[in-house]
Amino acid sequence: MKHVVVTGASGDLGTAVVARALASGAEVLAQFHTRAPALSHDALSTVQLDLTRDEGPAELRKALPWESVDLLVNCIGGARPVPYAELDTAAWRDSMQLNVEVPFAVTRELIAPLAAAAGAVVNLSSVAAFTGGAFGPHYAAGKAAVVGLTRSAARELGEQGIRVNCVAPGPVASAMTDSLPEAVLAGLLATTALRRVVTPEEVADTVFALGAATGVTGQTLVVDGGRFLH
């Protein structure tokens, strides 16, 4: 892969994906909003954009330093844990916008450069899409929608040679996991086969494995240490 775009590149998963791409020898365009990626490399370009703005995805397209994109990784996403009864409409809509609308809009903007390289898209969902999770209905519903978005995009964009897959991490060593109450995290790990959280690097390796799997599209691969076995 020569050219890789990563959204949400300053988060724990985004940072690991960028590092993995650079280690493979790719040139990387890393999008961030408020906090720049903690990486420096001659092959790394960064762009500061708020992708929740209507103009954001188009601005990302204009910032591309190449005509083609081999891999787009939609790492952007997240939510604060909120119980169902305390979740207001604004928080629900914010989660849907960040977790679903932004990956949709970014992928739409990059169809032409992805098609030029017969490239791939990997969306980041979550095992919460299947289990409900501990972060609340706004997060689980948003990440479930990412799985549906992945399947729909794979069907439609396949005729242009674009593959679209999804990685659904379970508890990952990250700021989001650190925000969970200790009792909640302990309960999650008690039902995990490996009895540990996965690392961002393990998720990044899976992202690149899917990105390179030329015969695979429309699939969601769970990376959770064996918590959700299906």
Tokens standing for 229? 């076995």
Helix (H) or strand (E) holding 28: strand 27-32
For the chain, the first-to-last Cα distance in angstroms comes to 31
Question: What are the residues whose beta carbons fall under 8 Å from the beta carbon of 172, sequence distance 6 or more?
Answer: 12, 13, 197, 198, 199, 200, 203
What is the rounded (10 degree) CA torsion for 127, 22, 115, 60? 80
From the list 139, 150, 222, 224, the catalytic residue is 139
Per-residue b or e along 30-53, where b marks 16 or more CB atoms closer than 10 Å to that residue's CB: bbbbeeebeeeeeebbbbebebee
- Which residues have a Cβ under 8 Å from the Cβ of 229 and sit 6 or more positions away? 193
Active site residue 139: yes
Known catalytic residues? 139
